[in-house]
Amino acid sequence: MQDTLPPGALTEASPVSERYRHVRATSRALGAPLSDADATVQSMPDASPAKWHLAHTTWFFETMVLKPNFAGYEIFDDSFNFLFNSYYETIGERQPRPRRGMVTRPHLDTVYAYRDHVDGAIERLLEAGASPEVEELVELGCHHEQQHQELLLTDILHLFAQSPLKPAYRDPQPLGVGAEPGEAHFVSFDGGIVEIGHGGRGFAFDSEGPRHKALIEPYRLADRPVTNGEFIAFIEDGGYRDPLLWLSAGWADILANKWDKPFYWQEKDGEYWTMTLRGAQPVDRNAPATHLSYFEADAFATWAGKRLPSEFEWENAAAGLPLDGNFAGSGRLRPKPAEPGAGELRQMFGDVWEWTRSPFSPYPRFKPVEGAVGEYNGKFMCGQFVLRGGSCVTPEGHIRATYRNFFPPDARWQFSGLRLAEDA
């Protein structure tokens, strides 16, 4: 997911200090399997080194919370403001994003020392009785760090996929054998004027609001995501060779990049294999298809005689459903097949982010906040499409029915898939 820092509010479920400790410990656990070399290399301009993720999230707390609010705080290293700033024009110059992998120093051990230094100061600030405004900034930083936890995993997967050794981030595990998810069925929803966006209590990013009314027509939504087996049928039917299925920009990517299968897939001994965080594995035909661009999702939907849902249709269907799913905490780190069933929505949360046909644009009355944290999300509301629902590497407690993830339509290295929709 994108590196975005909109304003937030406190989550009432736990004290902010408890949440802070949990989030920071989770990041350290995610970095534990990595060597300094693993954490330094940048595999492409859109990905960042793990060391950068670990340091940038710490830089946020130091820059946004401690410097302006903790008298006497001692900066860990003056050079880190240049090295680990992301997109904050108002805060100063920074290392260009495509060249983050050139930051071979500081060593990973120094980054962890930086984290310890900032953690101690944040804990002292909170123990001293921070204001509600400061607590909100800390809460925002926690959710920002959870975004980077997911990015750290997707970026490490991309890095390891480039290695001729195809190393595993976690030890390989055999896939559990479960029942086939069965044929997809479509659940009907009435049209009308519906309430969209976050309007309740608790944390939300600014792009999730303001809550507003939207008109939707009657529609039907598939009860599960599209599977790898179904996507293989698209491939074998010539889906990547038929320009009539593709948006013009997507077909241009087909020609330029020679796409003929999902990202990370390769054929070996007549079988499809894919790179995962547990190393190279045979493609599970029953699991949701993933690492698909918006263009591939849209082309598949056209081939199937369906379409992608709008983000309003998706949110309307997901409203009120429990936030259960295969998230990062399950340890699986790859999508799993849907449980058998028909007539009710399955896998709306977790497993794969689901592309919608909706561009990432502001809701009515949206206004970015003042100051540095207001530099996001508004300036990214151009050329991106919305994804919903979270994935198998999304942290628990970081997803809502109103959550709007977004990426450009050619992005493939995220855990992105699709769910079909049709007009009623």
Report residue 6's pLDDT band, with 50, 70 and 90 as the boundaries.
very low
Give the pLDDT score at 220. 98
Q: Nearest-CA neighbor of 222 among 266, 273, 161, 288?
A: 288
Neighbours of 393 (CB within 10 A): 26
pLDDT tens, position by position, 126-158: 999 899 999 999 999 999 999 999 999 999 999
Report residue 4's pLDDT band, with 50, 70 and 90 as the boundaries.
very low
pLDDT tens, position by position, 74-104: 999 999 999 999 988 788 899 999 999 999 9
Work out the mean pLDDT of the chain and round it to a whole number.
93
For residues 385 and 1, the answer to whether their CB atoms sit within 8 Å is no
Report residue 8's pLDDT band, with 50, 70 and 90 as the boundaries.
very low
Output b/e per residue, 338-368; b: 16+ Cβ within 10 A.
beeeeeebbbbbbbbbbbbbbebeebeebeb
pLDDT tens, position by position, 336-351: 999 988 779 999 999 9
Compute, in degrees rounded to 10, the torsion defined by CA atoms 295, 298, 304, 308: 160
| CATH fold label, 186-423 | paralog of FGE (formylglycine-generating enzyme) (3.90.1580)
Q: Say whether pLDDT at 380 is over 90.
A: no
Report residue 7's pLDDT band, with 50, 70 and 90 as the boundaries.
very low
Neighbours of 168 (CB within 10 A): 18
Q: Nearest-CA neighbor of 353 among 384, 383, 320?
A: 384
Query: Phi, psi at residue 238, to the nearest 5°?
Result: 85, 25
Structure-block tokens of residue 203:
């944390």
Q: Say whether pLDDT at 400 is over 90.
A: yes
Cα–Cα distance, 341 to 181 (Å, whole number)? 7
**Rg from Cα positions in the chain:** 21
Cα–Cα distance, 298 to 303 (Å, whole number)? 9
Can you name the residues that pair with 192 across neighbouring β-strands?
216
For residues 126 and 20, the answer to whether their CB atoms sit within 8 Å is yes
Cα–Cα distance, 85 to 346 (Å, whole number)? 39
Which H or E element spans position 189? strand 186-189
Query: Residues near 93 by Cβ (< 8 Å), separated by ≥ 6?
Result: 82, 85
pLDDT tens, position by position, 232-274: 999 999 999 999 999 999 999 999 999 999 999 999 999 999 9
pLDDT average, residue stretch 367-393: 83
Q: Which of 48-57, 160-169, 376-385, 390-399 has the lowest mean pLDDT?
A: 376-385
Cα–Cα distance, 161 to 276 (Å, whole number)? 8
Which H or E element spans position 137? helix 132-162
Residues 26, 28, 29, 31, CA torsion sign: positive
Structure-block tokens of residue 412:
């493939």
Cα–Cα distance, 420 to 386 (Å, whole number)? 15
| Angle, helices 16-31/108-127, rounded to nearest 10 degrees | 170
Structure-block tokens of residue 42:
């940048």
pLDDT average, residue stretch 37-63: 97
Cα–Cα distance, 124 to 423 (Å, whole number)? 56
- Largest pairwise CA distance in the chain: 66
pLDDT average, residue stretch 53-61: 97
Residue type, 83: L
The DSSP annotation for 240-253 comes to GG-GGGS-HHHHHH
pLDDT average, residue stretch 209-230: 97
